[in-house]
Each structure stands twice: as structure tokens, then as C-alpha cells.
């Protein structure tokens, strides 16, 4: 449930409400809005009399939330959560553009990609170093060596950085090098990993699982937020459907829907969603029109030589063109880029 405190509630009144909730076994999270404090309480609602709670000094109202995700839902926080990372802002008016190679391969490859995406207007550099591949014989990533390169390329170009983590060890190591940790589609329901992500001091980019419902995706975000990390960025990256002519099916209705259900920022990955570079531009524009707060796009200096996901990667010229064509669309829907 959510306890909305009065505009003029005193610190002592807030403390009393917290104490009462904790005595009844609730896990609490204070949410400081622009004007007022809201207390998110997770626990067994039967263990407290909510009408009595509502009469406590300083309490305006108690909202019973039927949705299973409580801390990430809109009812808890009316304003959008804005996750600020370097020059990028996820959830603000300005679109956050993340771009870079699927995987960090070499210093030359990464630097060429970094310079190109920075020049075209991206503010975050992506690069996989722990690659969850379908085949054990495919390139698995450079791991810590790749993280070194990613951090260096980020520092040199002024871009913030994001990389995927796949387990406790990679999370611990990557947190030392990059600005945002990505939990990929395949790990969206790795609940231990989600809890650990709640304990790190870096924003988490949480991709939607290959076959996850919107509710399961938001519950995954709830794991992270309820474990202590409020900086979660959701990413729609296409889901598995009967359709095989694209790699996945980009669920843009989920983007519009999720924006109504949660205060967290939502971005779109048109690269993994389609698997085809010729569709990435159109789906990027559609995503922004649907209300996405940003994009994550695969860019490789020479996609024909990519060790991973070449067919969906743009070359620098294609990415530059995508950014130019995105501009008027962003303006048309009232967003800056
Ligand atoms: C990726 O972004 O490199 C990736 C593997 O994406 P996903 O988890 O969405 O498949
Ligand atoms: Mn990829």
C-alpha cells in the first residue's frame, strides 16, 4: 500500500507512521516528491488496520494497491522518475540515445564506434563484454579487458557507458568500470541477480524478457527497486511471437502502456527487436512517437565484420542519418534530442 502524507506533515509524524508500519512487519520506502512525501509499504496488508492508519496525524490518505508491483507503479509517484547519467537524461524531456557495438571486439573497433555515435548525438556508449550467446561456440566477449576499453572510450569521448552483466561476478567487476549496468532479456527473471542489482550504486537498464508479460517485466523492476535501487530504466526489445520474418516483434503498445503504469523511464531497442538494420530507423521513429524516453541502437564501424549481431547493426553513416531523421519527429512530439 501507499501512504500519502499531508503537504505540511512534520518529520515526527512521518517517523511515527514509519514506526507503526515497521512494527507491523512492513518493508518501507520513502519517496520524496516535489511537494510531498509518500511512503511505499510492502507487506501483509492484513497485519494492519488501514482505517486506523489513515487517522494518524500527518496522513492524508492510504491507497491500497491491488497491483502486485507497488514501488514502481504510477500511484506511488505521479512525476516521472528521471535517471541522470552523465549528459544523458532518461525520463526527462530530452531523449536519451544510447549507441555502440553489440560487443566490444577491439580497441580500434570500439573507438571508431564511440567517436561516430558521439558525433551523431548519442550520449551513452553501449558495448557488451559478457555476451550471453545462444551458442557456446559464438564469441563470448572480452570480459574485463573489454570493460577497460569501454571505460577508456567513454572517458575519451565524454560518453557515459553501459554494459550487460550476467551474474554476481560480472556485476561486481562491471560496476567498477561503467555508468549503467544492463540486465538482458535472458536474465530478466534471474531474481537473485535482480536483488543484487538493487544493492549496487549504479542505474540498471532492465530489458524485457523474450517472453515476459508487461506485469512480469514490472515485477522484475520491482525486485530491483524494493531491494534499494530506484534508478531503473526499462527497455522494450521485442518479444517472441509466431512471426519469424523479424528477429522479435517490437511491442510498441507495451511502451505506451508501461508509461501509464509506471513512473520509470522506458526506452526501446529497435536493433534486437527487428534483427534487420533496414528496419531500425523506422522503428526508432515509431518508438519516439509512441512515447519512448530514448533508444538503444547497435552501431559498428563495419557491420560486415561484426563478431556479433552484424545484420542488425548500423554503420556510422546510417546512424547519422537515423539521428537526422529522428530530429523532426522528436520535435513534433514535443521532445528534445
Ligand atoms: C544486448 O543488448 O546486447 C542484448 C543481448 O540484448 P537482449 O538482452 O535484449 O537480447
Ligand atoms: Mn546484440
pLDDT score recorded for residue 33: 81
Q: What is the pTM of this model?
A: 0.86
Give the environment of ion ligand 2: residues with CB less than 5 A.
102, 309
**Domains along the sequence of the chain with CATH:** 2-63 (3.30.70.1140), 83-332 (3.20.20.70)
Q: Using an 8 Å Cβ cutoff, are 139 and 129 in contact?
A: no
pLDDT score recorded for residue 106: 98
Question: What is the spatial distance between Cα 87 and Cα 336, in angstroms, rounded to a whole number?
Answer: 13
103 lines ligand 1 (CB under 6 A): no
pLDDT score recorded for residue 75: 86
pLDDT score recorded for residue 117: 98
pLDDT score recorded for residue 103: 98
Question: What is the spatial distance between Cα 31 and Cα 8, in angstroms, rounded to a whole number?
Answer: 15
User: In 3D, which of 36, 35, 27 has the Cα closest to residue 1?
Assistant: 27
Indicate the SS3 state at residue 4: strand
pLDDT score recorded for residue 69: 92
pLDDT score recorded for residue 31: 87
Which of 135, 165, 185 has most ligand 1 atoms within 8 Å of CB, for mutation?
A: 185
pLDDT score recorded for residue 64: 80
pLDDT score recorded for residue 116: 98
237 lines ligand 1 (CB under 6 A): yes
Which of 104, 134, 150, 272 has most ligand 1 atoms within 8 Å of CB, for mutation?
A: 272
238 lines ligand 1 (CB under 6 A): no
Helix H or strand E encompassing 224: helix 214-226
Below-50 pLDDT ranges, the chain: none
141 lines ligand 1 (CB under 6 A): no
Amino acid at each position: 500500500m501507499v501512504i500519502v502524507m499531508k503537504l505540511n506533515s512534520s518529520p515526527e509524524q512521518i517517523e511515527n507512521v514509519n514506526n507503526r508500519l515497521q512494527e507491523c512487519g512492513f518493508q518501507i520506502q520513502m519517496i520524496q516528491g516535489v511537494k510531498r512525501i509518500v511512503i511505499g509499504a510492502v507487506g501483509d496488508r492484513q497485519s494492519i488496520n488501514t482505517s486506523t492508519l489513515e487517522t494518524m496525524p500527518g496522513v492524508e490518505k492510504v491507497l491500497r494497491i491491488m497491483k502486485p508491483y507497488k514501488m514502481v507503479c504510477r500511484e506511488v509517484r505521479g512525476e516521472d522518475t528521471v535517471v541522470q547519467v552523465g549528459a544523458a537524461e532518461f525520463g526527462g524531456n530530452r531523449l536519451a540515445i544510447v549507441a555502440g557495438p553489440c560487443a566490444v571486439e577491439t580497441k580500434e573497433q570500439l573507438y571508431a564506434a564511440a567517436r561516430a555515435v558521439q558525433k551523431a548525438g548519442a550520449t551513452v556508449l553501449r558495448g557488451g563484454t559478457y555476451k550471453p550467446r545462444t551458442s557456446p561456440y559464438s564469441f563470448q566477449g572480452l570480459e574485463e579487458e573489454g570493460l577497460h576499453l569501454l571505460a577508456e572510450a567513454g572517458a575519451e569521448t565524454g560518453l557515459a557507458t553501459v554494459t550487460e552483466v550476467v551474474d554476481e561476478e560480472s556485476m561486481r567487476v562491471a560496476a567498477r568500470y561503467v555508468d549503467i549496468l544492463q540486465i538482458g532479456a535472458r536474465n530478466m527473471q534471474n531474481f537473485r541477480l535482480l536483488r543484487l542489482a538493487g544493492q549496487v550504486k549504479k542505474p540498471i537498464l532492465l530489458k524485457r524478457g523474450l517472453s515476459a508479460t508487461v506485469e512480469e517485466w514490472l515485477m522484475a523492476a520491482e525486485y530491483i527497486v524494493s531491494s534499494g535501487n530506484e534508478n531503473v530504466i526499462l527497455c522494450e526489445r521485442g518479444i517472441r511471437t509466431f512471426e519469424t520474418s523479424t528477429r522479435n516483434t517490437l511491442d510498441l503498445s507495451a511502451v505506451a502502456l508501461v508509461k501509464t503504469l509506471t513512473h520509470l523511464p522506458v526506452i526501446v531497442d529497435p536493433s534486437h527487436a527487428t534483427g534487420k538494420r533496414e528496419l531500425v530507423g523506422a522503428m526508432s521513429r515509431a518508438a519516439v512517437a509512441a512515447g519512448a524516453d530514448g533508444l538503444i541502437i547497435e552501431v559498428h564501424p563495419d557491420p560486415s565484420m561484426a563478431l556479433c549481431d552484424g545484420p542488425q547493426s548500423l554503420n556510422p553513416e546510417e546512424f547519422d542519418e537515423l539521428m537526422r531523421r529522428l530530429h523532426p519527429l522528436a520535435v513534433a512530439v514535443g521532445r528534445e534530442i
